[in-house]
Chains A and B, each alone.
Chain A
């Protein structure tokens, strides 16, 4: 589905990504790990083209995103990608519900009725029903993060990008979010997440370890059951 070919990214003469190549298949759950400043978040933003690359290509279903005009790219992001960040980013002058449905209304792919219905279903599934009219500052971090997953899902995207989705959450909220991600992936959603938590990465089918702007190692898990222990062992090997 996504083919990353030798992408590089430098900023102020500092090379952050260096000739990175890999592939994401439909239905994949890719976890990106690595030490701080290794370039893992930059990789996510580069693939989703929220940040430009200095070299290389990103092919999404055969289309080169790095050459796509900005307006088309925005439309592409709107309909085919969903984003979730460490701190749930919401528009402060809209209620939770309106924040969730806004991308759907902009996309205009479906009727308002369908969008609203989907938003309600998503909220129910994320167990945040009843918060529709709440202000974004009136809910907990976990609730807000689940709301931002709802927003990311509202246009039935083809891939979900997550940047440290549980970084600001407590343990219980983290468990809730992870369960949701696992469910979504089971239903066929392609997911790519950047994380420093093995607990999160353990849910992935494929883990990329980034170091000094390059993929230092890649681990694919054959089973979908708990492979946290296996991952820990792999990480220990990598860091020693």
Chain B
């Protein structure tokens, strides 16, 4: 064993650069694997902990308007699978009524409301995950706003309406197991009972959440069906616990998912590199292997000699990777911990990465053993085959017109003959380019104005939501007439939104949101079919169509005000708003049933959207006015925050990867081609020429890698983004690339990094003494 370790130490000393590069690869793989799993562990523990402490409801039915409390109590009484129920009264308040640090919350897309602490379950918790209590004059602010606006304990929030003004001191930041996620469109502020009574007399509209806890084994869909059948109050959406969990997983799990995906790809690359290095080293050591065999070393011992080298490397990588994953994982799980707390299963963030590291080590070790065994078994044959391989490489021809660009011609010629050696580095370049571009492209896609088409509406500049008013129609008319007389507005259309009931594939009745308006003003691109025409057609969002099992041409029956309305499905479109479940049809909603009027408008050329938004906000105080790009950004803010977080990491990792692989590759390839380098020097190539030739070979491969990586990032990236958004309602995403970043800056940065690495990495060529090479 001592002899083996001595040999290994000598080998490490001899191949410092390659060993270091390989070690960094393995450390990175271990770090990403352990880091991703640490985030996963932290996330599961965190979300689970919050749900346990807050006792999350398993079914929530929203409702606006009056309701029969006795009937509801009776419903709960007669259904014994209901463990507990709760009616949460929420006072919906317009964002313009909130003032924080001199500014209203109008720029925020969220719907905000006041609640008092619940009894029984669905508790709002403080940052220690304890049931929160606020005194009169105090307010508990959702953690979302602490994060987005920087609101902290001790700050003051003012609510006002007309001459009424009330200051509330932020006493605590609250965690809300139902509406924590950035993907949940409502946020609850916690106030005291007496403040609630006071504020409600000046502003707001009551909304009720009927919340239920079920006994073990009971299904939420059974409850939803029974609830509908019993005609219980349901003027609003019904949300199951699984949707809430999905939203949470999506919000917090994305980072973990991306990190683990990166780690898996890194492992593949590491194994590829490892296999390349083992093959390269062993082919150079065939003589040594033969000698070892000759002096009586059993094959097992030789195998052990090689394996021990990589095992030591792997062990070191595993220890470093696991240790580094602690701060790394904590950084990426800081968001979920802020939103949900540390939770009750903290062991997971220690055990999961450990299991991951063990798995990674097993994969690498087994692969290592396989390659070593294969190489050992055929030492002599392999030597012969090597000759064959060189023969198979073939020749390149020198151009008959002479060598105008000698280095280019030689480099390309050699590349043509030895392309197989470049497969690994090519794959790494493809992967790193993909890794860099994917988050960038996702971001630019979301930031592109036409992304709104994935939100169920054609491209427009500004959106106005008119809701929470006693006099919705009057307000709507006021907005319409103002816009009609505004000469800076190019076009505008108003859409009436309400709910109807429809039967899903399981025969359960559920509410779907229907938009009624002129679909031709802001035409939308349909996945299939077209916009509804006339009063007998209905277009369905992608998620709705999937869940209802409808295709274009099918008929669909919906219930509105007790009557059955039959429509033909005219088209299917993508929409990630309102849980992805929307529809478009000419249903003439009763004014009392209108949930919201939404106005979309375009300003004329040369008119600033930001200025127009500010102007409209001053004039039309009843509506929530949002520039459409901001609407998109805020709706996807959760995803985009996470994407921004991984974007930086992805760029650093990608650049580090290409530096490492280039250094490692140059080291191997210059050693392998030492005799060719010597011959070139003899026949008159300068060191500079030879370095340029290496540079050209690597940069050509990298350029091809970048092209393929870019194509993948655009095509496969669209599929991945589609998968990510399909649970929200958009399945077919076309990446909207920012050409400057994607096609110029990103490739330029990668090429520059490799260019510099080649300059440094090929310096070794100067040290090759021709005499040494020739004499060998």
Contacts and interface: CB of A to CB of B under 8 A. Distances in A.
Co-assembled chains A and B: yes
Contact of A78 (B390, B675, B679, B684): B684
Contact of B683 (A87, A106, A111): A106
A97 to B, nearest CB: 9
Nearest to A71: B686
Contact of B395 (A41, A74, A79, A98): A98
Interface string B49-91: 0000000000000000000000000000000000000000000
Contacts of A107: 684
Contact of A70 (B395, B396, B686): B686
B679 A91 contact: yes
A103 interface: yes
B401 A112 contact: yes
Interface string B735-776: 000000000000000000000000000000010011100110
A101 B401 CA distance: 12
Interface in B383-427: 387, 390-391, 393-398, 400-403, 406, 413-414, 417-418
B687 A93 contact: no
Nearest to A49: B770
A42 B775 CA distance: 11
A137 B401 CA distance: 27
A213 to B, nearest CB: 15
A100 to B, nearest CB: 10
B684 A74 contact: yes
Contact of A105 (B390, B398, B769): B398
Contacts of B775: 41
A87 B387 CA distance: 17
Interface in B321-343: none
Contact of A151 (B395, B397, B402, B683): B683
A137 B395 CA distance: 12
A94 B675 contact: no
Contact of A93 (B400, B413, B684, B685): B413
Contacts of B676: 91-92
B682 interface: yes
A105 B684 contact: no
Interface string A68-99: 00110111011100010101011111110010
A91 B680 contact: yes
B394 A83 contact: no
A102 interface: yes
B391 A85 contact: no
B10 interface: no
B683 A78 contact: yes
Contacts of A98: 395, 397-398
Nearest to B417: A93
Contact of B685 (A51, A74, A151, A163): A74
A131 B84 CA distance: 94
B675 A106 contact: no
Contacts of A135: 391, 395
B771 A41 contact: yes
B36 to A, nearest CB: 43
Given A74-B684, A137-B387, A137-B391, A89 B678 contact: yes
Contact of B684 (A87, A90, A103): A103
Interface in A116-142: 135, 137
A93 B395 contact: yes
B688 interface: yes
B106 interface: no
Contacts of B111: none
B226 interface: no
A71 B398 contact: no
A50 interface: yes
Nearest to B413: A93
B771 A103 contact: no
Contacts of B398: 94, 98, 101-102, 105
B681 interface: yes
A42 B771 contact: yes
B689 A74 contact: yes
A41 B773 CA distance: 13
A106 B401 CA distance: 12
A163 B774 CA distance: 10
A74 B681 contact: yes
Given A77-B684, A92-B390, A93-B413, A106 B403 contact: yes
Given A93-B394, A106-B403, A137-B387, A45 B770 contact: yes
Contacts of B400: 112
Contact of A50 (B394, B395, B681): B681
B233 to A, nearest CB: 81
Contacts of A91: 676, 679-680
Contact of B679 (A77, A89, A105, A163): A89
A108 interface: yes
B774 A89 contact: yes
A106 B406 contact: yes
B420 to A, nearest CB: 13
Contacts of B769: 50-51
Contacts of B774: 85, 87, 89, 163
B684 A50 contact: no
A75 B684 CA distance: 6
Which of A70, A87, A105 gathers most chain B CB within 10 Å? A105
Nearest to A161: B682
Nearest to B398: A98
A112 B391 contact: no
A112 B402 contact: yes
Contact of A90 (B390, B679, B681, B686): B679
B426 to A, nearest CB: 19
Interface in B648-679: 675-676, 678-679
Nearest to A89: B679
* Chain A CB within 10 Å, residue with most, of B390, B675, B679, B682: B682
6 contacts: A71-B688, A73-B686, A93-B393, A94-B398, A101-B398, A112-B400
Interface of A: 41-42, 45, 50-51, 70-71, 73-75, 77-79, 83, 85, 87, 89-95, 98, 101-103, 105-108, 111-112, 135, 137, 151, 163
Given A45-B771, A77-B684, 9 more contacts: A42-B771, A70-B688, A74-B684, A74-B685, A77-B682, A89-B679, A92-B390, A94-B396, A108-B402
The 7 closest A-B pairs by CB, nearest first: A78-B684, A74-B686, A112-B402, A93-B417, A50-B770, A105-B403, A103-B683
